[in-house]
Structure 1
Amino acid sequence: MTEVSVRPVVSSPSAKRSQLIDVDVHERADLQALVPYLEPMWRKYITDFGWQPERVLPYSQYAAGGLDRLDAKLPDGRPGGSDYDLLRRQLLDEHDIDYAVLTGWLDASALQPGWAEFKTALMSAYNDWQIADWLSRDDRLLGSVHVNAHDPIGAAREIDRIGSHPKMVQAILYIADKAFGDPYYHPIYEAIARNNLALGFHHSENAPTALGFHRYFVEWHTLVPQVFMSELVSLIFNGVFDKHPELKVFMIEGGFTYVPHLMSRADQQYKELRSEVPWVKRMPSDIIRQQVRFATQPTEEMSLTQFMRLIDWCESDELFCFSTDYPHWDFDSPTEALPQGLSEDLQRKIFVENAQNGYAKMPALRTAGQ
């Protein structure tokens, strides 16, 4: 770990950043686009029965473009992330991104259980569509293996089927209302380990707060970190990290300012109650520092001193990886999201190295002049 300091350093992300990995970019598939990749027995659920993903969140997105940036919506009404050329212009080219990890839109892990075989097949179709329509079009795009967590054996089979693809860097689970540390899901982690992938956990509108869904969107959105804390606690104390000490986990679209509190609280409980979980061999904070990364979006406004103090409390500058969450309404620009004055070394860790070190299959970055 590099020693951190709260002393301001005069520089800015826009002036000093030369490379960038974005760990959360959403491409979006129209369901009809998946039909050619489904076997005939599954196509009818979309073509004949009109299946649509269940919408759980009882709010409208309180923004001009709904879920997305208004300028990311297509003239024909399609949502942001539906068109590669627009994404390329607005994100990859405008912000000079070296690699963008696609995290998708449709994921069966966040859908209610039921029709398990169909949803497993749907994720296979999504993966094939992602490779054909996105990964093959731009060297800067990297993929996530989408699986149906409600079918762990089927999910493991899908990871083994597609996880060796050179542009797949992680398997992704969208968080809903399940504690994924449960041994029921362990076949998924075993498959991830076999294929040298990272594991991404992504925020979902299917995830309630500790008290369900509050009256207003602003309440629910404020409390998003609750579900990330719940998942990490479940993974830690159910022994997932001890069973797979090489596994790297990315917590995506949940922010990161909650991390010092979680580390402190979990450490104290482990000291007092470790006899209940004898398979956990390390302090929770050490597990987090060694095996977990947090995507920065949505970044909260803070001063340089506050940001550096947060890193100091975590006792690591290797936990945070930059993400834009394109094309969503709360998109974070790499030139504006983080405090001005970060040292060049810290910028490089957040914008590049922490993601590089977390994704075992991350390709090498270009060098100056390439």
Structure 2
Amino acid sequence: MWTKATNRTTSNVVLKLTLLSVCANTPLMAQQGKQRWEAEDLIATAKIINSGDLLVIRAPEPERIPFSGGRAISFVPRGKSSSLELRLPVETAGVYNVIIRGVRGPSCGNYDLYVNGEDRGQALLYSAKTIHTNLDSSTVNGIRFKKAYFEKGENTARFEFLQAQGRGGNLVLDSLELIPANRQPPQYKFDTFDPEIPAAEKLGPNLVKDPGFEEFSPQDRFTRQHEDIKGWRFNSAVPKRTECIVRDASLAHTGEKALLLHPDPLEDNAVVYQQVLTQSGHRYRVSFYARGKGAIIIMFYQTAPAKAEDTTRGYNTFPASENWQRYSFVFSPSASGKIQQTGFALYAADPDSTVYFDDVAVRKIID
């Protein structure tokens, strides 16, 4: 549990910001059950865009890659924007989780998925347990893209290769599955918070990297210009990372920049998070500034070591304010000393959820 402990074991904690939204004009669920297609059964109507090679392959002997049905398809792009388009006959219209399985190839590749022409996120496919290696698969349950809306009848799923160079990014596809995304509006019970930090409270240095979202790492990966906020990571539900960077100083609480989180219309949340170092047996003061619409949730959870002794997730839920509001509270890592990551999650329940964040801090309380 996330309570005050007596032992003092060093651990890493992840600070995670999540934003949850349910849009008024978005279907809440796809009725009926899931649909699944063997990739080789879709090859008859498959379409190659901007050149590439498409083959049906059999599971190698000895069977290092267990293809369902014993076969899969392999798409070899010729360069950036080479695409494989598959046609999916969907029985029931609605929002679905899109999962591809058996994705393996001799080289890695970065692909965008477009459903009926709409971008539904990227996936990096890498060499693991291929005919060239004997490594264990790390994605045996498939790779999930963003949720997508499918019409009843024929739909298109297009995988677009993103790398600038030519060959070297095979897409080996065993099957494609659509799982209904049952989405219900969230209900929250708000917790109390400290709008001000007690003047007599002695605090250590801020453990958060880039607490004001001022520092960036410009990148030009696969010829796609984007920036990453130093020390922070995003989940795939964020529409575009560049849209999260607020460069207008008048919109920031302090400094020149701030963070703006709003989820993709079909996704449940938008997340930004990082690791901080904590110790069991100590108390920590968490504080941040936020404004906007929705419900802000601070989430604490362990992600390392792999075998977690304490799987409890701690939540603090606060209402967002129209104007900048300081939120502050105290937490303590697990008494087991094994908590290593803390999720600092912000959920916004309004249909047009939009929340700005700035000046995030996690400081040890010096007793």
The reply to whether TM is greater than 0.5 is no
Classify the TM-score, shorter chain.
under 0.3
Bigger Cα Rg: 2
Q: Which structure has more RCO (C-alpha within 8 Å, separation ≥ 6)?
A: 2
The TM-score, its normalising length taken from structure 1, stands at: 0.24
Larger fraction in strand:
2
Larger fraction in helix:
1
The TM-score, its normalising length taken from structure 2, stands at: 0.25
